[in-house]
Chain A
Amino acid sequence: MPFTIISQGTFTQPSGGAVSQIINTPSGVDYFKTYNLTQLTTTQSTGRCVMGEWFNGGEAVTGQLNSSNDGLCWFKSSSSSNALNVSSFSAQSAGGFTYVNSQPAPQAAITGTTITQATAAVASATNTYSNGDTVIIYNAVGMQQISGMQFTISSVSGSSFTLLGLNSSGFATPATSFQVRRVSPSLPVNPQTLYVTNITQASQGVVTVSQAHNYQVGQLIEFTIPAVFGMTQLNNFNQPSSKPIVITAITTYGFTINVNTTAYTAFAFPASTASPTAQLFATVAPAGQITQFNAVTGVQTGYNFNQVPFHSGLFIPYMLIPAGVLSPGGSASDVIMWQAFKMETGTINAPVPS
C-alpha cells in the first residue's frame, strides 16, 4: 500500500482570532493534508484556502513543489466562483506547513529599525511573525541591556510587534537598530527559566517577565538577580532561611510573590552603555511547589499537574499549521480537519513501490 493513514482529527479555531496549531506526529509524517470544512461551504469576498497538502522531502526538488516546501494551497479565489486554484503557500504570501522533527533552532535573523521607550515596547521590523511567537532580540543599539533576552510578541503586523513583557519607558534611549530571530515557542523542558523585566516595591512584590509564562499559583521560584539590577535582596541566599519564594497570583506576563519588597532596592535595568560588561540577566527559575489545603472547605489549591512537574516543553515531531485566510489553519471559528499519512518506506524523492 502506498500510504498508511496514521492519524486524523479536527480542531476549531477560537472565535476571538485564529492561532497557529500544533499537531503531534509520533510516527513522523510523509504526507499531511488539511480541509477547511467551514470555508468549503462558504464563499468569501477574498480568497480562502480550503485544502492544504504537504509532502515530506519535496524541498530538494526544484520546481516540483516549491523551494520552501511549505505545501500546496488549494483555494477559492473570490466570491464569484467556487472554482479551485492551486499554488504554493509561499506564492500566496501565506504561511504554509512547517514540519518540525527536532527542537527548533533560531530562525534567520531579521534587522529591525527601532524599539520604542514605552510602557509596552514596540519593535519595528518587517516580519512574517505571528501573535504569541517567541523571539530573541540582540544587538539592540541603544538598548543593549535587553540584547540576548527572549520575548513573547503580540499585536504583530508585517512591520512591527509589541513586547508586552518589557516596560522600556525608563530606558535612556530607544533602540535605533536591532537583530531579531524567531525561536522555539518553548524551551525543551518546562517549567522553564524566565527573564525578569521588572519587580515592584510592594507588600507583595509583583514580578514582570519578558514572556507569556506558564507558572502557577503555589509554585516555588528562585531569583538570580545580578547587582546591576538592584533588587539583590530577592536572591535566595538573602532570603530568611533561604526558603524558596511562593507565587500567590499570576497574570499573563507576571506574578505576585509572597515577599514584601517595599524596603528592597528598586529593580532597574543597567544602562545600555554598560554593555557588554554589565552582568546580565535577572532571571527566575522554577523550584518546586507548595500546596495549600483549606481545612474548612476541604479544597486543596496551588497545584497543577499539567504545568508544575518538570516535563517536556514540546512534543517532537509535530506539524505546525499556521492561521490565516490563505493558510491551512484558517480563520477565526473555522473547523479544520487534518490527516497525517506515513509511507511504509522511501520518500517522495526516492519512492519505493509497494
Chain B
Amino acid sequence: MTFSTGITGIQNMAPELPVQASEDLLSTPMFNLIHSFGVDLHHAESYIGKTTRMSRFERLSTDGGQLDGSGIDPASEVPVRTDIDATMEIYAKSIVTNEQVVLWENSKTLTKFTALLGQWLREKEDLLMRDLFSSSVSYINCTGGVNGDQPSNISLNDVNNIENILLGNDARSMLTNLEATLRFSTGGVRDAFIALCNTNLAADLQKVQGVLLKSAYPTQEGLRPEEYCSISRFRFFVSSKAARTPGVSLLGNTVYTIPMYGLEAAAKIEQNNYTAVIGYRPPWVVSSVAQNSQLYAKFAIARAITNQNWISGLNATTFLPS
C-alpha cells in the first residue's frame, strides 16, 4: 500500500492555523488619573507668549479704621496683588509603523495605536500634575503612627493637623457633604478637602481611626472609582503612580507624599487649540518608498500652585516596610 493507515489525529494532521486571536483584545493597563482632579482649569490664548499669569488681590488689613470725629482721615492702604505665573510646555509622542505591520497584524493596529496615544496623553498629563504637587508644596512628616519611622505611618492626628493648617489659612473645602441615610453600616460624609495618595497606603488608610471606606458612604452615586475613603475632613483618592521617594525615611523605607488641598489651590492651564492634538502622517509623507506611517499625539500644559495657603500635605511611610 502507498498510503498511511490508522487514526487521523492532530499528531499527523495539525491545524492549518496554529493560533487564533480571541474575540477581543485584553485590557491595556492604565493607572488612576487623580492629579488633575480638583485643580482649576485655565486657558491660554495663542500669540501672547508662553507664560500665563494668574493674579489675586490680597485682602485689606482690618487693623484700625475708626474715625474719632476730628475730621482726620484714616490712612489709605495700598492693595497687594499677587501674581502667579506658569510656563507653557509642550509634550509629544509618536509611533512609526511599517506597512507590513498594518498589512498582516490581526488587530486594527492604527486604531489601537491611536487609542494608546490618547491614553499616553492623559497619563502624561496626570504625572505632570503629580510632579507639580510633589515639588512645590510644603509637606509635614507624619508623627502619630506607630511604626517607629520618620516619617511615621499615617494617623488621625496627622490628618487633623493638616485640616488645622488649611482652616487656619481660610481654605475652602472642595467637595460637598453626603447626607446620612437610613442604611446600616453607612455614615454621613462632611464637606471635604481632597487628599491624593499612593495605592501602597491603602492598607494604612483602612486602619486610621474614624476612617469611612467608600462602601460606607451614604450613596455611591457620582463617586469616582479612584476614591478610597474619607478621614476627618479629607476624601482620599489613590493611584499607583502617586508620588513616592524610595529608601529615604529614617529607617530607609519609601516615603510617600500626600498633597491635601481645597478650592483654587492649584491650576492647570491649557493652550487653546493645543489641548490634545492627535494626528496621522501617511506613508508617502514619512517614507521615501511609502512604507512607514506615523501617528502622533501632543499637548501643551502649564501648571502652578495658585495658593500655598490652601494646599498642604503629609509625608508618610507605611506600617509594613515598603
Residues of A within 8 A of B (CB): 103, 105-106, 109, 136, 138-139, 144, 147-148, 179, 181, 183, 187-193, 220, 222, 224, 226, 236-237, 240-244, 275-281, 283-291, 305, 308-313
Contact A224 to B312, CB < 8 A, known contacts A147-B150, A243-B80, A279-B143: yes
- Chain A neighbourhood of B315, CB < 8 A: 148
Instruction: Quote the shortest CB–CB distance from B197 to chain A (angstroms).
Output: 18
Q: Is the CB of A290 within 8 A of B248?
A: no
- Chain A neighbourhood of B170, CB < 8 A: 237, 242
Q: Is the CB of B250 within 8 A of A148?
A: yes
Q: How far is the CA of A136 from the CA of B247 in the complex (A)?
A: 10
Q: How far is the CA of A50 from the CA of B292 in the complex (A)?
A: 40
- Chain B neighbourhood of A220, CB < 8 A: 82
Question: What 17 additional pairs, Cβ within 8 angstroms, besides A310-B86, A310-B136?
Answer: A148-B141, A187-B135, A190-B135, A193-B137, A222-B309, A224-B140, A241-B80, A242-B169, A243-B80, A275-B150, A276-B149, A276-B250, A279-B143, A285-B136, A285-B308, A286-B305, A287-B307
- Measured CB to CB, the nearest residue on chain A to B317 is A276
Instruction: Quote the shortest CB–CB distance from A196 to chain B (angstroms).
Output: 10
Complex interface: stretch among B56-64, B112-120, B229-237, B270-278: B56-64
Asked if B99 is an interface residue, CB under 8 A from chain A, the answer is no
What is the interface residue range for chain B against chain A? 35 or more
- Chain B neighbourhood of A188, CB < 8 A: 131-132, 134-135
- Chain B neighbourhood of A280, CB < 8 A: 140-141, 150-151
Q: Show 20 residue pairs from A and B whose CB-CB distance is below 8 angstroms, ordered by the A residue.
A: A106-B245, A109-B252, A138-B249, A138-B252, A139-B250, A148-B255, A187-B136, A189-B303, A222-B138, A224-B138, A226-B140, A237-B309, A242-B58, A281-B140, A287-B82, A287-B305, A305-B51, A310-B84, A310-B85, A311-B86
- Chain B neighbourhood of A189, CB < 8 A: 131-132, 134-136, 303
- Chain B neighbourhood of A305, CB < 8 A: 51
Instruction: Quote the shortest CB–CB distance from A130 to chain B (angstroms).
Output: 20
Instruction: Quote the shortest CB–CB distance from A76 to chain B (angstroms).
Output: 40
Instruction: Quote the shortest CB–CB distance from B144 to chain A (angstroms).
Output: 8
Q: How far is the CA of A146 from the CA of B315 in the complex (A)?
A: 15
- Chain A neighbourhood of B138, CB < 8 A: 193, 222, 224, 283-285
- Chain A neighbourhood of B252, CB < 8 A: 109, 138-139, 179
- Measured CB to CB, the nearest residue on chain B to A279 is B143
Nearest 8 interchain pairs by C-beta: A188-B131, A276-B150, A309-B85, A187-B135, A224-B138, A189-B135, A222-B308, A311-B87
Residues of B within 8 A of A (CB): 51, 56, 58-63, 80-87, 89, 131-132, 134-141, 143, 148-152, 161, 165, 168-170, 245-252, 255, 302-305, 307-309, 312, 315
A288 touches which one: B62, B63, B82, B255 (CB < 8 A)? B82
- Chain A neighbourhood of B168, CB < 8 A: 237
Instruction: Quote the shortest CB–CB distance from B28 to chain A (angstroms).
Output: 20
- Chain A neighbourhood of B143, CB < 8 A: 276-279
Contact A105 to B246, CB < 8 A, known contacts A188-B135, A236-B309: yes
